[in-house]
Amino acid sequence: MNKFLENYLAVLMPVPFRLKMPDGESLVGQGEPQFTITLKKDIRKKDLLTSASLALGEAYMRGDLEVDRDLFQALDAFLGQMEKFTTDSRALRKLLHTPQTKKNQRAEVSSHYDIGNDFYQLWLDESMSYSCGYFKNQDDTLYQAQVNKVDHILEKLHLREGMTLLDIGCGWGFLLKRAVEKYKVKGYGITLSQEQYEKFRQTIREERLEDSLQVELMDYRDLEKSGLTFDRAVSVGMLEHVGRGKYEEFLRIVHSVLKPEGLFLLHYISALKEHPGDAFIRKYIFPGGTIPSLREIIGLLADYNFYTLDVESLRRHYSRTLLCWRENFLEHREEIERAKGLEFTRMWELYLASCAATFHNGVIDLHQILMSKGVNNRLPMVRTV
């Protein structure tokens, strides 16, 4: 029996479990085991010490590691201990610190979002919203939660007819489309995903929204030279792709295209403390992805004359959203496996389940920050949303 592995996993997992390996099995921890981990192949000590997340994640992807309990429940039992996961930042330097050039960041975004619209349609809701929902009621469906989330954002922006609204990282366009329908604004979206861009353009043409909506395949850094200005701006789930060291430039550019007294709502996955990122997520799911802390973003706003108006956490909403996505994913698992292969399918289920667990355990959070460019005394004095 690999005693190092047994002792290492005992440190990571605060609950008793049974460990089965080709050369034997043992009970790890005190009490009734909550699940059984079966390892068909040994995991090298060097790999665990380089990155526990990567070593365990790859073992699961390959089918070398199995658990006999629902994957989310098993992960939820110990992912609150992620600060104990070993990470050799020097050995992982190239993975954790990728170039922040336009060319490279476009390739990183494409590697995730251009997997195929047909793939995402299998497990997202009909709005094609790939971000945290907002469950106002216990019985809200995933679709209703996504409508709630968009309406929640739009209400915070205090939109009025004729205003212009910029969406940085607009995805498949649901937020802008709803803003146009509800508030009769002019919407302008940018994305780096070719598939999202083409699908949104198709929607605009089919629904004859050319007078109200426009989408461009554009890096946010090109906004400044566009000559455009906007009354309102929003960014949902895009800041995670900007990268540490570029947040100042991002905020400066938003400031440059926002009109005086304009409002900007920033919706992003956040962390309690600054961290270079998770090696497994970086390598297989979101290349280049970095989660900013709340304090580092809040701390930068004053430098760009942004006044913080409201901060809200939707952490538990994201955990529930991810569980809804995983349920949909599992309903189509056989179809996904036929199209993408077993290893891809196991990788994506692990991604969805582990993210749901990390949100549930407070390892990561989701914040919405509403800010104004300069002082805005025209807004209601009472919070209504």
Rounded CA separation 66/144 (Å) = 35
Instruction: Give me the amino acid identity at 333.
Output: R
Rounded CA separation 20/342 (Å) = 23
Neighbours of 139 (CB within 10 A): 6
Q: Which of 356, 327, 189 is nearest to 269 (CA)?
A: 356
In the residue annotation, 355 being an active-site residue is answered as yes
Residues linked to residue 168 through DSSP beta bridges, in sequence order: 190
Neighbours of 1 (CB within 10 A): 12
Rounded CA separation 172/177 (Å) = 10
Catalytic residue among 132, 170, 324, 355: 355
C-beta of residue 189 within 8 angstroms of C-beta of residue 216: yes
C-alpha torsion sign, points 163, 164, 168, 171: positive
Instruction: Give me the amino acid identity at 107.
Output: A
Residues taking part in catalysis: 355
